Chain A
């Protein structure tokens, strides 16, 4: 028995026989120089391989089932790449001028393109090289005399591949695939999208796959942990198949209950909302029982473009969101980015320490025209649905007053221009800087609500950059300083009679949510996928238990003690709910050396 590790991209467990769709091609690329007489036949061989693959893609396109229609667009772009002079044309020229074999020439043409794409600043464009690699990989396979015939699958299989191209997708008999495993791919790869559409588990980035697995091997694909278990021993197989049924039952159970309100057994009500950044996510929010949008990240419309969005564009976006979600509350957060992160028109600043630099509300006050355009769009959209606005990264009173003054200016302008808006638009702030936490009582008098951004609050409180592998193990949500900060903010809000919500990753952590409930927080906002599981925990909790847990946590002198204590309590209180969450203690990795 062996276990191969990869990246989980679609949840679930499947047990079945391996079937290889394709392999990367055995061994290194053949490299030969050719005698003059063989150059012309070599060019013809290259052209034939391109043509063959083009024909296969065109045929595949005809067979695309309706629910996978979006893949057809990717197929079209693959077809274009296949016919592109910069790939086939350049490879052909390399054969002619350098007298090298087709495989080598194609590899050189791809390397040229890689250089051109790597130089691009924009992630989207840089990633298009993946399509070139996929296409050229398939042509290489044909040059090597391999062709995959995916329709030959006779019984249900676990599909394994070096990489699954959209063209493959189209020719898959999807009902015969029970899981997907690939060597290539990352968190956002096409394979994950496909697997989630089909509702089957998938693990990508399994580098050892081709060496370790043969066609027909019995494998277990665990899309929860991101592992592939090979030839499992009988006991392990029994354990995994139990886990499979438990997961399926659990999944069905939490989805059934996700539309019920987030209410404890003893009647304490906690609103459960969603964090999103695109309109496209709204259906998931609604299907998963989200009671509103607790955090709409507005940065997306500002990124990857040469010019800033217009007021009209933003207005339309916010209006659409508010209308679809109506009557549920939608909280729009004003632009929360550093100058580095968006709009190339602002130029790049030379900042030694961007996390402590010109970002979020500071950036907006620095560019009042950009800020006001966004505020005007938000105000105008507030005629529909139920919108509120919040400002990120507030450190003190002056920033709130400046931001509110800007909002007042926008209101006055709109009134004069005859635009309608909601004059009582609720205004809140993000509580994510230690300075704001310390003076929460003062800030609470100025706004209608607080939203605690724990991701930043933890980083700024503990002085930890969580992306730095040398210190990331010290990023601890239940550090006594963090727990006390959150408690302080919640209490200050309640004393002032305003609502307080929490929108960091803690809100989707089953080990943290009961502690937050003990503080009587009003609302949590989390990634839509996690809502059903968290709602179920809330509905099985009692306020008494949560308050007791909070008391113990507040008395604990260290995060290690807290984690052990929370882990023990939560596992005891929700024995059936946590099987699919990694434990708190597992996350305390040792520092990197």
Chain B
């Protein structure tokens, strides 16, 4: 019996990759409701604490500003969605570490 949903391993700090123009982290939306208003607010709030520029992208979608709750909501990311976070700037790695943690803890 296979479960329809197999949990992909959740990202740890090790998963943050350095690229020429900044850092990249792939995350999975694990919380049940997806990026609804509350998780989206929390995510934007945290992102705003960092100076670097942080973009998020859903597969095939456009990149949006992680500091904008409205941008995040327009991704309509449900549970299980895979997202790519990209950050560029002085505290980019740190920012991705913190945001990755939020996803891991299901925004609790």
Contact = CB atoms under 8 A, between A and B. Distances in A.
A is bound by B: yes
A369 B69 contact: no
B34 interface: yes
Contacts of A319: none
Contacts of A113: 70, 74
Contact of B36 (A124, A131, A311): A124
B22 interface: no
A81 B70 contact: yes
A306 B70 contact: no
Contacts of A370: 4
B78 A304 contact: yes
Interface stretch (A84-92, A196-204, A453-461): A84-92
Interface residues of A, number: 38
B38 A305 contact: no
A370 B36 CA distance: 25
A77 B1 contact: no
Contacts of B40: 77
Nearest to A304: B78
A80 B79 contact: no
B78 A77 contact: no
Contacts of B102: none
Interface stretch (A98-106, A114-122, A245-253): A114-122
Nearest to B75: A125
Interface string B67-105: 111110110111111000000000000000000000000
B44 interface: yes
Contacts of A86: 65, 68, 70-71
B41 interface: yes
Given A124-B36, A308-B4, A87 B79 contact: no
B3 A76 contact: no
A215 interface: no
A310 B44 contact: no
Nearest to B68: A86
Contacts of B71: 86
B4 A120 contact: no
A307 B38 contact: no
A132 B70 contact: yes
Interface string B29-69: 10010101110110011000000000000000000010111
Most buried by A among B4, B44, B77: B4
A117 B4 CA distance: 30
Contacts of A369: 2, 4
Q: Is the interface of A mostly helix, strand, loop or mixed?
A: helix
A81 B34 contact: no
A362 interface: no
A84 B78 contact: no
A85 B65 contact: yes
Given A86-B65, A305-B80, A310-B4, A80 B44 contact: yes
A73 B68 contact: no
Nearest to B44: A80
Contacts of B38: 73, 76-77
Interface in A355-386: 369-370, 372-373, 376
Contacts, number: 86
Contact of B78 (A81, A122, A131, A373): A122
Contact of B3 (A116, A120, A373): A373
A81 B74 CA distance: 13
A86 B48 CA distance: 13
A445 interface: no
A84 B74 contact: no
A305 B79 contact: yes
A309 interface: yes
A132 B80 CA distance: 26
B41 A76 contact: yes
A373 B5 CA distance: 11
A376 B4 CA distance: 13
Contact of B68 (A77, A85, A308): A85
A131 B79 CA distance: 22
Contact of A307 (B5, B44, B73, B76): B5
A454 B5 CA distance: 35
A401 interface: no
A58 interface: no
A561 interface: no
A31 interface: no
Contacts of B36: 124
Contacts of A305: 32, 34, 78-80
Contacts of B4: 307-310, 345, 369-370, 373
A305 B74 CA distance: 15
Interface in A370-426: 370, 372-373, 376, 413
Interface in A42-82: 73-74, 76-77, 80-81
B65 A80 contact: no
Given A132-B70, A307-B5, A80 B45 contact: yes
17 contacts: A73-B37, A84-B68, A85-B65, A85-B67, A87-B70, A113-B70, A116-B70, A120-B76, A122-B78, A124-B36, A128-B37, A305-B78, A307-B79, A308-B5, A309-B5, A372-B1, A373-B4
**Pairs A-B, 9 closest by C-beta atoms:** A307-B80, A308-B4, A306-B80, A125-B76, A306-B78, A86-B70, A307-B5, A80-B69, A305-B78
